[in-house]
Structure 1
Amino acid sequence: MEKSWGGIGDSPALMRLRGNSKVIKKPMMGMAALILTMPAFAAEQASQQDVASASSEESVVADKVKVTGILPDRLESVPGSFNVIDEKELKSRQPFSVREALNQTPGVNIVGEDAFVLAPNIGIRGLNPRRTSRTLLLEDGVPLFLAPYGDPSAHYSTPLDRVSRIEVVKGSGQTLYGPQTVGGMINFVTKPVPKEFQASVSAIIGNNNFSGGHVNIGTGGDWGGIMLDAVNRKGDGIRDNHDFEINELTLKGQLNLDERNTLIAKVGWYEENSSISETGLGLVEYNEDKYQAPTGNQDSFNHTRKSLQLQHIFQINDKAKFSTQFYYVKSDRASFRQINDPGTLGGRSEMDRCSGVVATEANSAQCGGRWRPREFEYWGVEPRLDISHSLFGIESDAVIGFRYHREDQERNQYRASNPLAQNLGWVIANGDHRESIDIDVEAKSYYAQNTFYVGNWSLTPGVRVEDIRISTNVLRAEGADHNNPESSLTNNQTKVLPGFGIAWNGIENTTLFAGVHRGFAPPRPDRDYSAGGANTAVVSKTKPEESTNWELGVRSRYFKGLSYEATLFHTKFDEIVINGANPGSFVNGGESQQSGIEFAGRVDLGQVYNTPHNFYVSGTYTNLFTAKFKKDGQRVADGIVSGDRLPYAPRHLASINFGYSHPVGIDARIGVDYVSQQEEDPAFRAGIVGSTNYILRGQSGKIPSYTLLNASVSYRPVGSKATFFVSGHNLGDKEYLASRVDGMVAGRQRQVFGGVRYDF
């Protein structure tokens, strides 16, 4: 029997709704017992529903099993807002990076600090986009962060060459996933293992010394399949001397043991070598040359990521499926910088380890700096049952699952003024060891969700429980050893996160939906300590972020050739977390509120007039009319004032595209993207202590609005195996300010690239 799998470890489809070694503690026995009884429970339910005999079941089970993504097959039943960028759209638009892939998604704001979005900054509905820490970033349902609980920072996103679709979920459908559920989720669904031999090769080249290649080769049959991907990208960054190169190898396989049992595995290796510093420019430097990077020849960011995903799927019958997933990720990242605080010398940057020396290319070669080598390791196991039933006399789809997750962090920092310190090995042996922190996390997640189908209505209640233990041990900080009781702390948190959604499909090809869910983001242990001299380190318990998220909306394809959606949303935070005045620090910002409305639509005139000449218009618009703090901060230096707008929360986001496509194989479009004015972090705003210095450092001031012109064209002649494409972004070469988080950072200049893909 033929099986079709679109991903791995990503949350199996509902049969109808789908639409450093340390001692590890055992999961709680009660949940273990429940998991062990799931298959028996499913079999009993199937028997009560008069399922067919085992032999007839086998003829349908294999054909119905599909692992796609976090969205169900029956999209009309999803009780919340979502967006899907499928493979066809990705090929027609030819996005340069994940930023261009998502810039037509309503509610999504991406701050581009580097040319290729190597460290994504994605914010949803007014949440701070810094390192995507408030958006759950997934690949095939597994988090992509350095440490999903302990350090939810994104320094990696799935190369688009491997992606078959991108799912963006912002509504109440987040109950089944975690831990970051305060804003939304983005899931990269990778391409499925082929059912027969297939291969492709692509090559691209562009300005700014950009080039890349991708090779995909795979084969398969009734037994399963295997597929290999190899990706390379390199080029110059936004600023001088900010070149980068990434390489990735991914091996994915599937083994069909029999009609009911399937094994899926994916192994990945990724490496980034770049000269991109996370520090921006001071005011004077930016005004002189916004694209300069005085220490770029020495600065570096090196990141290696190894990953493994294993999944066993047991298709009990045509109404029940029991899956067990295991994942493991290890990331090693080491960054070197020579500027820590930009603009401290009257608007010019100071060499971090050479006091009073202005940062220039010549001076940077004669000075050391600071290294931050860090290791992150996490793994987890997640058994889950998907079952269709009528236990309450109502046709239903249910999901019951549990996840046990462990992660470890080792954070170090070394400093030295000697230029030999530009070598990590030298500075570890001879430098000033400034920081050593161990963080250990154990998390147990329990979730259950049921969708009731009553006429044209779909009702989906659900609940998720997060039980977290975070242990932080400061061994060394500010260059001193620490073994006092206050330097070690265990923070325990248990949160119950309910959600409820409703969808109505009483009008053809139209869904009205509403939902509410409780959002949660766990405490960040990397912000929980302070230290001065020896044995003065104090680790404190910061509060987790909690939110209540409401939605009301409609999506429709009622009229031929016209699709549209509109969503009214409201998010209330009990305790939002924002950047503090000190670099890398975070503070609790108290209550906040985000409210707005999103629109998206597309008109295909080819469908309206039944002609192969399809002229189309697509657009999105988000009006975030409220994004504000609700009460004053506890400290003046934090700059939090009730009623002030949240940082990096543009009031208006808009995108419109005009295009033409024809069955002969051509697809061309031109469009503009608009981002309105944004506020900087409140700790740097005018009127607070040190605000004059923050102006010179480039951290104080508005981020002006900007509009970018983009275009793309792809052509695949009928009967040909070759596809030719050209894509351009910021074609007007607009100069604009992208961020002030660590000084002033300019946005990317004009980028044009072209290439060819050949399918064997």
Structure 2
Amino acid sequence: MIKKPMMGMAALILTMPAFAAEQASQQIAASEANEENVVADKVKVTSILPDRLEAVPGSFNVVDEKELESRRPFSVTEALNTVPGVHIVGENAFGLGINIGMRGLDPRRTSRTLLMEDGVPLFLSPYADPAAHYTTPLDRVSRIEVVKGSGQTLYGPQTVGGMINFVTKPVPKEFQASVMAIIGNNNFSGGHVNIGTGGDWGGIMLDAVNRKGDGIRKNHDFEINELTLKGQLNLDDRNTLIAKVGWYEENSSVSETGLGAVEYAEDKYQAPTGKNDSFHYERKSLQLQHIFQINNRAKLSTQFYYVDNDRASFRQINSTSNTTGRSTLSNCPSGVASANLANADLCGGRWRPREFEYWGVEPRLDISHSLFGVESDAVIGFRYHREDSARDQYRINDPRGQNLGHAMANGIHHEDLRIDVKSLAYYAQNTFYLGNWTLTPGLRVEDYEKNINVVRSEGGPQGFKDRNSETVWLPGIGTSWNGIANTTVFAGIHRGFAPPRPDRDINFEDLAGQAAISRTKAEKSTNTEIGIRSSYFKGSTFEATLFNIDFDEIVIQESAGRFINGGKSQHTGIELAGRIDFGTVYDTPHNFYVMGSYTNVFTAKFKKDTDQTTSGNRLPYAPRDIATVNFGYSHPIGIDARIGVDYVSQQYVDAENSRVQSLSGEEGLIPSYTLLNASVTYRPVGSKATFFVSGHNLADKEYLISRVDGMVAGRSRQVFGGVRYDF
């Protein structure tokens, strides 16, 4: 039950919009009575960044539609690799189960970075299981917003690292359609169809996406399909309804298990049980928005969202052996040598069907005002959010159990965990415009309750229930200065927050008739930064940011599937990015350009000795250096070509900073690697067709990418090309 003391905050939030709107209306009534009623949004409906980007008091990056079309990234991994501060561990070929880490944070399943589509979280379950098994297909994206600095009080949870928002394309104002086909090596192919129409009344648009191919490892084929219907209805000059319905399905043989050291040396791309392992994921979503433009200085938007995630995975390998250096089969019939992977077809395995459902409603007021005698933009709102999830596990020694239905009917029900979450979040933020300065204080309050019902654990009924609740205050303040033309100097500080995950609150291995809790505390951080972004010089842009993140109780993985608090930690570093267009500098249509980014996390360390951590040791999966450089050429005839390199320095993978590789493959360094990429896009002047070719890891470098559950290789050479035709 949400705590009663928060009702006072709710009353304040509900009262302020009405008061502020009334004041704003009075201020403009006389001077603007004859102006048009319809006004431009102060904050875009689906964006997490305001229109006045020069006033943003923190670091951010935008990958816009033009950049996406010229680069033609293979997946989200390539789309974000030019953004400073971002580290992506590409375990899968098409960015399935994406792993994104910000500023030295562990990238595993992007659990410390808030992923959103049009402002709505994309996780399996934002509070209970913030794992990223889905990201918006780039075919539907008009721009990607990456926010790392102050101003994150408007969104949550999972904001210790930052936020990434995929802004989808708006419905058209007239008829439009496009079709795209692509094909590449590794049996890769895909297509995208978009069709829509619109007018003064609004618009409607349908997207259909298909991608399929072979994964990084053998027998890791995949196929995804998605249908999205988006519509807008302009009820009158002030009221607009926006609706979006989506269905997504993934069928793949991609397994989370890695290889032992001996297996990896023999063939780093093998997947011993890939022909039997499977992953099925279905996602259904609904998003409804009502926008009421009160006047030309105020907008009230109310959003409802609903997401239903249903995933089921089957795997035959529990772990890799630290004595043989090979994978070990589990759930085999009596007499089958479990270490002999040729016997995989004779064994059963583990099915993990899981269901996640969440929904929420969020009214929000965006208003320009001068209540304090200073021109200001304010955002005030709250969100009510509910989650229900069910985690099951079935184990069976019969090879017929490779079918989920047979396993459920005849296997052992090892795990039955039910989790429900209730959350109220309140937020308020105000940007004061003080000449060349802006000041943006904000506050977010997260009030949540999690109820855990362990119906069954490790094959035995438990009947154990637990409740975990907390109220967290998350203040932030940032400032910017625009005293130099086309230049912003900014600084900010805010509190980050990642609630404890219920599946980590219970140590299932210790449950033997009696309830035992191994609770992890919430991760809370203090994030500070100071930086500059500028386009002062003709034809050039650059940015530089110095950042620091102090964790109170960072969560680390002690062993496979077991997480603990690792005490205090610190992340400090610098981010640099820039671009020079020589065509603009020298006023010529032949535009040679260079662009690049560099991240140096020179401090990423534990600050406290615990049973599992040593003060001064470097944090896992926190490379010191990440860099990308691209050289390109573009011309108004419609061509854009570029070639570039991506570099990631070596990484530790555990709190002990082990350097010697274990036979299991789970310990040891990840060496540095450098990848070569290129792309060419051509759209003839006056043509409706666009032709493109894109290649990644063109040198076909073999490199190690992860040791989480054994050794996993990065993707080999991938080249694809295609054509898009606009009607």
For the aligned pair, the TM-score class normalised by the smaller chain equals over 0.9
631, 656, 665: which one pairs with 2:638? Answer: 665
Aligned partner of 2:245 in structure 1 is 267
Name the counterpart of 1:464: 444
| 1:90-489 paired onto structure 2 within 5 Å | 90-344=68-322, 346-354=324-332, 357-358=337-338, 362-483=342-463, 487-489=464-466
Cα distance in 1 between the residues matched to 2:411 and 2:653: 35
Q: Which residue of 2 aligns with 1:538?
A: 516
Query: Who is 1:734 aligned against?
Result: 701
2:10–2:426: 8 Å Cα contact kept in structure 1? no
Q: Which amino acid aligns with 1:382?
A: E
The structural deviation recorded for 1:314 is 0.5
Is residue 718 of structure 1 aligned with residue 685 of structure 2? yes
Residue identity in the other structure for 1:594: H
Alignment match, 1:600: 577
SS of structure 1 residue aligned to 2:226: strand
Contact 2:623 2:649 in 1 (8 A): yes
* Equivalent in the alignment of 2:472: 495
Give, as a single letter, the amino acid of the residue that structure 1 aligns with 2:462: H
Matched, 1:563 2:536: no
Identity of aligned residues (%): 75
Alpha-carbon displacement from aligned partner over 1:148-191 (angstroms, at most 9, x marks no partner): 01111000000000000000000012111000110111000000
2:710 corresponds to: 743
Kept after mapping to 2: 8 A contact 1:734/1:749: yes
Letter in 1 for 2:700: D
One-letter code aligned to 1:600:
A
Tell me the distance in 1 between the aligned counterparts of 2:321 and 2:403.
25
Shift of 1:41: 2.0
- TM-aligned CA distance change 1:129 to 1:471, over 3 Å: same
Q: Is the 8 A contact 1:594 1:624 kept in 2?
A: yes
Assess if the C-alpha contact under 8 Å between 2:37 and 2:296 holds in 1: no
| Aligned residue number for residue 586 of structure 2 | 609
Deviations 1:477-501 (A, max 9, x none): 1110012xxx311111111000000
Give the residue type in structure 2 aligned to 1:652: D
Of the candidates 613, 616, 641, which is equivalent to residue 643 of structure 1?
616
- 200-209 vs 345-354, which moves further: 345-354
Cα deviation code 1:560-612 (max 9, x no counterpart) = 0111000000110011001122x211110100000000100100000000000
Tell me if the contact between 2:617 and 2:657 (Cα under 8 Å) persists in the aligned partners: no
Asked if structure 1 preserves the Cα contact closer than 8 Å seen for 2:644 and 2:676, the reply is yes
SS of equivalent residue, structure 1 residue 327 = strand
Given that 2:504 and 2:519 are in contact with CA atoms closer than 8 Å, whether structure 1 keeps it comes out as no
2:498 to 517, 521, 525: 521
Displacement of 1:539: 3.2
The Cα shift of 1:125 comes to 0.1
Alpha carbons 1:246, 1:273 under 8 Å: kept:
yes
Match of residue 607 from structure 2: 630
The runs of 5 or more residues in structure 2 that have no matched partner are none
* Shift, 1:696, TM fit: 1.2
Q: Output aligned runs, 1:573-584, within 5 Å.
A: 573-581=551-559, 583-584=560-561
- Change in Cα spacing, 1:28 to 1:575, as seen in structure 2 (3 Å) is closer
- CA distance change for structure 1 residues 749 and 88 in 2, over 3 Å: closer, same or farther? same
Note if contact 1:409-1:438 (Cα within 8 Å) is conserved in structure 2. yes
Q: Distance in 1 between matches of 2:82 and 2:40?
A: 36
**Alignment partner, residue 651 of structure 2:** 678
Partner residue in 2 for 1:700 = 667
Q: CA offset at residue 61 of structure 1?
A: 2.3
Structure 1 residues 597 and 262: CA distance shift in structure 2, 3 A = same
For residues 237 and 37 of structure 2, the distance between their equivalents in structure 1, rounded to whole angstroms, comes to: 8
**1:361 deviation in Å?**
5.7
* Higher mean C-alpha displacement, 360-369 vs 50-59: 50-59
Paired AA for residue 72 in structure 2 = Q
Displacement of 1:682 in angstroms is 2.1
SS class of match (2:485): coil
The 1:547–1:758 alpha-carbon spacing in structure 2 relative to 1, beyond 3 Å, is same
Question: CA contact under 8 A between 2:38 and 2:237: conserved in structure 1?
Answer: no
CA contact (8 A) 1:70 1:141 kept: yes
Q: Distance in 2 between matches of 1:718 and 1:343?
A: 60
Distance 1:31 1:590 in 2: 32
Could you state the TM-score of these two structures normalised by the residue count of structure 1? 0.93
Aligned residue identity for 1:720: S
Partner of 2:84, secondary structure, is coil
- Deviation of 1:358 after TM superposition, in Å, equals 4.6
**Cα distance, 1:66 vs structure 2:** 4.4
